[in-house]
Amino acid sequence: MSSTDILLSGRNLSKTYGNMFTKGNIRALDKASFEILQGEICGLVGPNGAGKSTMLKLIMGIEPKTEGTIDMNGMDPRKALGYVPERPTFLEDLSAYYNLLYIARLNDLPDAEGTSRRLIDEFGLKSRGDDIVSTFSKGMKQRLAIARAVIHEPKVLLMDEPFSGLDPGMMIELRTLLKGLKAKGMAMLLSSHELNEIDQLCDSILFIRSGQIIRKDGRGEVEKRHLLQLTLATPSEQVVAALSRWDGGTVSDDGLLISKMVSKEDVPDIVAEAVRAGGRVMDCHIAQRKAEDLYAEIYLKEGKA
Amino acid sequence: MSEFMVHLRKDVKLLTSDSWFIVLLVALTAVSFFIALASCAAYVQNITWGDLVVTRASLEALQRSALVSYWSSIGNILMVIFLATSSMAMSVEKDSGMSKYILTQRVSKIRFYLSKLLLLIALVLFGLIVALIAYLIVFSFMDVPMLDLGSLMLSMLFPLLSMLVFTAMGLMIATLANKKGAVIAIAVVLFIALTAISQLSINLGAVAAMRDDPTLTNYNFTSGLPLEYQLLIYSNPVILIQGTSYALNVDNSYAPLFDTGQGVILAVLYFVVFTALGLLSFSRERLDVPWSTRLLSAVGRK
């Protein structure tokens, strides 16, 4: 990974709410480090209060950081970043078009009116563009918020819980929108509790707990890991021993189901090794490890969710 | 289009889309006419009272008194209205969190703030013109010689300055809290407190001056005012409303606290100080937690 591929990085980002005069200071973010690559959609996952929103706010500069650095590869953060807050706010008594136009003018876009109209059309708000925002549904406001965030064509889009409160139809629409933005080269960092959407959208996932980044699960082609599940006709210690050269994995209590995290290329060798060791393979099942499985492993098994 | 104009156009759009703007205009007009009628009634009573010999000079003197009375009354009301209006100038954006979002864009906080101040100044001028028109219409029915234009303009000077100062104060108050109710409450309490303290400090100052120097009277005590009373009196912008009587040379029961030039300088100083304080307070806008909550945390109440 070259330095030119990294669009946004944070080193030892920390945020403490409170000061020497206040009681009960909260360490919301604790030495969090991350990198977002060009064209990458990175999910930010963690329980409530883990520090997801704080991290996004620090990157945007809405909150001042206590420690750490944020590097945008020399780009002006206000030009290179777009932000969709958890609860998007608008000039509610003005039209959707004017809300976009205002931001377009602030960003000094050459054709603010034309760009605003184009985005109104692209984000499916054509019939409501001149209606005041207070009459919009949650889904429409979310689309408007994203349109507003990308109006100046940022390199990285930050989104705080973009799927929150949306019905399934809206989630599918939003997912399609975001994939369209990715196709145009935009990188994204989005926090969400919707693990299914994270699975379908994200190239990588950052897991955060108590303000610390505890794991990054890379989902790029090179790093893709698959859950291989072998079902045997009878339990076999020899098969388990033979497969031990592939690290990790679990064996079910009845000894019939062997699970291993492997890359796709290793699957034929594993199955062949199991057969060579005398095992009778009844079923061979490959599944990409879901975000939900990882979430359960990280947060629930340790009883800290 | 410059950033300042972008903000200004947005503020104009927000103002004209708010139904309270129409209510404010109607209320302003109604109050102005009502006060003008009251002043006119008092004027008529004065010119027809007892054995007064009516001359042009006496009519003009009485008109000056009526004008001072009118601007004192309408001036106080307009000060409160503009203090309240300006304190709400940011509430739509702050309460919704839109101001924080806007500040994530490439904007200057100074231009954002000053565009609102300019719009409010325009509103003040508009309010003043409505008040003047109300006075002229009512008094034109009296068929009496009106004061010259210079006197009319001079009579408007200190109400204008007072309203500008209180508008700047109101906009500063707007940066202190997010909720409309909170800023209105701060504005009203502050106005009542300042008004009460103003008269009290003048009275106490006069007593203190005359106690220190028994040769002083109500008409010349300002020359012997102790320093602490000078600070108390001249740091209170409410005294500006008395400038109309000083400018028009209308007798009142106290020595003038300032002449026209000094009054203008004082008003400009107040305006600059409140604007600077407002800009300073607004410079902290990006913080998630309002000042009021931080203050409560600091004293261990939250």
pLDDT tens digits, B218-242: 778 888 888 888 898 999 999 998 8
CA distance B136 to B134: 6
pLDDT greater than 50 at residue B301:
no
CA distance A176 to A150: 15
Query: CB A127: neighbour CB atoms within 10 A?
Result: 8
In this complex, the residue of A23, A64, A91 whose CB is nearest that of residue B98 is A91
Residue A132: pLDDT band with limits 50, 70, 90? very high
Residue A22: pLDDT band with limits 50, 70, 90? low
Same domain, A171 and A270: no
Q: What is the mean pLDDT of residues A96-122?
A: 94
Same domain, A202 and A234: no
- The answer to whether B198 and B257 have CB atoms below 8 angstroms apart is no
pLDDT greater than 90 at residue A21:
no
| A105 near B CB under 8 A | yes
pLDDT greater than 60 at residue B147:
yes
Lowest pLDDT segment from A272-281, B26-35, B59-68? B59-68
A105/B6 Cβ within 8 A: yes
Same domain, A151 and A269: no
Tokens of B136: 């002229």
pLDDT greater than 80 at residue B55:
no
Contacts by B46-55 with C-beta closer than 8 Å and gap 24+?
B47/B144
Same domain, A184 and A277: no
pLDDT at residue B134, rounded to an integer? 86
Q: Which residue has the higher pLDDT, B167 or B40?
A: B167
Q: Which residue has the higher pLDDT, A104 or B248?
A: A104
CA distance B18 to A134: 13
CA distance A33 to A41: 17
The range of the structural domain enclosing residue B261 comes to: 3-298
Give the residue on A whose Cα is nearest the Cα of B101.
A89
pLDDT at residue A222, rounded to an integer? 39
pLDDT tens digits, A164-198: 888 888 888 888 989 999 988 899 999 998 888 88
pLDDT greater than 50 at residue A304:
no
A105/B298 Cβ within 8 A: no
Report yes or no on A301 lying in a domain.
no
Residue A101: pLDDT band with limits 50, 70, 90? very high
Same domain, A172 and A246: no
Q: What is the mean pLDDT of residues B237-251?
A: 83
- Strands A41-45 and A204-209, by their bridges, are parallel
Report yes or no on A33 lying in a domain.
yes
Report yes or no on A259 lying in a domain.
yes
Set of chain A residues whose Cβ sits within 8 Å of the Cβ of B13: 94, 98
In this complex, the residue of A79, A92, A132 whose CB is nearest that of residue B96 is A92
pLDDT greater than 70 at residue A111:
yes
pLDDT at residue A67, rounded to an integer? 87
Report yes or no on A296 lying in a domain.
no
Same domain, A139 and A247: no
Report yes or no on A262 lying in a domain.
yes
- Which of the residues B1, B18, B103, B105 would you substitute to probe the A interface, choosing the one with the greatest number of A C-beta atoms within 10 Å? B105
pLDDT greater than 60 at residue B282:
yes
Same domain, A140 and A198: yes
Report yes or no on A299 lying in a domain.
no
Which alpha helices (DSSP H) does chain A contain, by range?
52-60, 77-80, 96-106, 112-122, 138-149, 168-183, 195-201, 237-242, 267-276, 291-295
Which alpha helices (DSSP H) does A23-111 contain, by range?
52-60, 77-80, 96-106
Domain tally for chain A?
A: 2
Q: How long a stretch of residues is chain B?
A: 302
CA distance B277 to B287: 17
Residues 42-101 of A with CB under 8 A from B: 57, 60-64, 76, 78-79, 83, 85, 87-94, 98
Residue A221: pLDDT band with limits 50, 70, 90? very low
Residue A153 gets which letter from DSSP?
A: -
Same domain, A213 and A230: no
pLDDT at residue A72, rounded to an integer? 87
CA distance B93 to B110: 16
Same domain, A245 and A283: yes
pLDDT at residue A103, rounded to an integer? 94
| B106 near A CB under 8 A | yes
Tokens of B112: 């954002």
Domain tally for chain B?
A: 1
Nearest to A57 by CA among B7, B97, B295: B97
B100/A63 Cβ within 8 A: no
Task: Tell me what the pLDDT averaged over chain B comes to.
Answer: 84
pLDDT greater than 60 at residue B292:
no
Q: What is the mean pLDDT of residues A124-143?
A: 91
- Who contacts B135 (Cβ-Cβ below 8 Å, separation ≥6)? B32, B36, B39, B67, B70
pLDDT at residue B266, rounded to an integer? 93
Domain CATH for A208: 3.40.50.300
CA distance B154 to B54: 25
Residue where a domain terminates, one of A197, A218, A239: A218
Q: What is the mean pLDDT of residues A198-202?
A: 86
- In the block, tokens 């809290």 appear at B177
- The answer to whether A46 and A215 have CB atoms below 8 angstroms apart is no
Lowest pLDDT segment from A2-16, A236-250, B285-299? B285-299
Q: What is the mean pLDDT of residues B94-102?
A: 85
Residue A289: pLDDT band with limits 50, 70, 90? low
Same domain, A250 and A208: no
pLDDT at residue B144, rounded to an integer? 63
The range of the structural domain enclosing residue A183 comes to: 3-218
pLDDT tens digits, A56-80: 989 988 888 888 999 888 888 888 9
pLDDT at residue B302, rounded to an integer? 40
Q: What is the mean pLDDT of residues A20-32?
A: 77
* High-pLDDT (> 70) share of chain A, %: 91
pLDDT greater than 60 at residue A2:
no
pLDDT greater than 90 at residue B169:
yes
CA distance A103 to A89: 13
Set of chain B residues whose Cβ sits within 8 Å of the Cβ of A94: 13-14, 17
Same domain, A127 and A187: yes
pLDDT at residue A1, rounded to an integer? 46
Give the residue on A whose Cα is nearest the Cα of B302.
A23
- The answer to whether A47 and A295 have CB atoms below 8 angstroms apart is no
Give the residue on A whose Cα is nearest the Cα of B287.
A63
Set of chain A residues whose Cβ sits within 8 Å of the Cβ of B105: 78, 103, 106-107
Residue B43: pLDDT band with limits 50, 70, 90? confident
Residue B70: pLDDT band with limits 50, 70, 90? confident
- Who contacts B29 (Cβ-Cβ below 8 Å, separation ≥6)? B130, B134
CA distance A158 to A80: 11
pLDDT greater than 70 at residue B297:
no
Same domain, A77 and A182: yes
pLDDT at residue A19, rounded to an integer? 65
pLDDT greater than 50 at residue B215:
yes
pLDDT tens digits, B105-120: 888 889 999 999 999 9
Lowest pLDDT segment from A147-151, A181-185, A289-293? A289-293
- The answer to whether A274 and A239 have CB atoms below 8 angstroms apart is yes
Give the residue on A whose Cα is nearest the Cα of B10.
A102
Which alpha helices (DSSP H) does A49-137 contain, by range?
52-60, 77-80, 96-106, 112-122
pLDDT at residue A44, rounded to an integer? 93
Report yes or no on A293 lying in a domain.
no
Residue B298: pLDDT band with limits 50, 70, 90? low
Report yes or no on A110 lying in a domain.
yes
